[in-house]
Structure 1
């Protein structure tokens, strides 16, 4: 029993001893850990610089990541900006290319239009070249004509005589009073009052005929004086060589005007030949000269290669009117004695009513409409118009057949803007167009007018507003 009680007590002491050992071991372990911690702390305190150097090493990856992110962002922005610039450049290039293509198309279109216009205007250019050549030839012929007129004036004024020589009044042929005096080498500024004052002691001057150049209309520095008597003319001749404003006057008895050469009259008819005309003659002056003869229905001025020949044909309404006109043979018209005779009738062959053949042998272009009249037509095309044409002349031209002109349109060259000799004439009614067509081939200022229908008039105009 006593042994049984000792055995549990021994077990209890053993447990206590084990617990005590475990506790001591734990305390030792704790002490060791504290010591290690202390050593670490002391070691950390002893090496502060090393700790500071280690800290950046820990933060360095973060900074580099931020820097790398920033660089990537900048690269992306630069890339986007570059892409935008390239896109804008491509758009601008596309716009420029489109503009260039449009410009090229426009240039090609303009070139095509210009080529077509040149092709259409080719005949006109040839006609203009011919006109320029004709003008040059005409100018040369006018200069020759002026020289001829000067020679004619020299023939009319007799050869120079000595101042002491007094031509006899009987030198004038029968039928001339000897009262006509040639006065030359005059100053350009001379006046009628100055001439009359210079010769007032010689006698009364009834008329002064001023001599002009036919092509320019300028004063030739010479006149013819008509005195009231032969004695007055003889007295005036004594002043030959006298001074007038620094010029020595030429004073001579003028030779009498030559009477027209008598020609055998042709068979009387309504048509009359008119010759020896001045270069300055026009339709108005001819009509004025024959206004008392009867109705003058047509005047045809003759030309050769575009040069006026100083001749014309006149058509009267009756033979009696033509006879009255022929009776004026030798009368003065613009300083020239007219040569008048009945025109010879056409004897056969090609040509016009006066027997003038077509020298080229080619068919003449018709002056009448080539196509039938469109329904409701109130406008006519007129060609071969004179360059002196205007609204008043064309209106008077068609008024002769009772047609009233309401509007005119003259066509000019696109480049030079010079009149092309063609135009369009409008009338009030289509019935008046029928009347106006009868004037086809009639002469206006020396040119036969070509007429054709221009088409039916619409709201805007006969061509629908297009040219």
Structure 2
């Protein structure tokens, strides 16, 4: 199998894995793309990765394992659900037998020449997550996490061998995706948890674990044990709630606001900041180009630096039931 075919197969598996990890076997296409591409170390903003995702979903739709609605929702079909159950059942039944087959193959090859024996050994190692030469990384992708998860509960789930965690969040809104990258204390620890914990439940959700080598140029592991962000940005703390702000520009008059309810409008923002005596000059919300749906973030400008400073003190405070994320911006 060529590299291109292999990557396509991995992406299709990631798509199905993401759908099978949800409660209703369905997700919006946008959320599915984010999770699937994260799982295979893709970039949701890269045109080629987007095209590959689109081709993979179309192929799966053609195979009859998922459907795509006009409303932008991807859902597993009865065939897709049935295949998942069959694979899980086969894995449980044949786990020991599969290991036996590998041992028999190794034994049979012992009478062949050295080259054949080495080839068989390589095949066996590649099929084992513990010894695989392909998986020489202690960095893992963890998907389908419950939103209540924290560093302590995730570390306990990963057998207490986790040294760092980076919670994956939206670059604009700061919203927690329900996935993370983690660093394990050793290659063996990483391989062990992938083998023993993949598809096991944490707080009622089936967790997905994959090896995830850091991309070139990525600082890994992070300086702090717990951080947040995505592959292009950093930060401290996870999920929602109060997020530490960055460095304040001189004479700052504008703030970034994220994790907003889609019901927020200009009047709501003005009333919110008026609670600390800050008068809003103008507010600008961001929207998705394709659908014109709100992104849940935007920018607010104030008449004075003093008003901007006061407004910044509301970072992490609730607005329409959501802890608003605030940061300085030029």
Is the TM-score greater than 0.5? no
The structure whose RCO (Cα within 8 Å, separation 6+) is larger is: 2
Structure with the greater alpha carbon radius of gyration: 1
| Structure 1 or 2: more helix by fraction | 1
Place the TM-score, normalised by the shorter chain, in its bin. Answer: 0.3 to 0.5
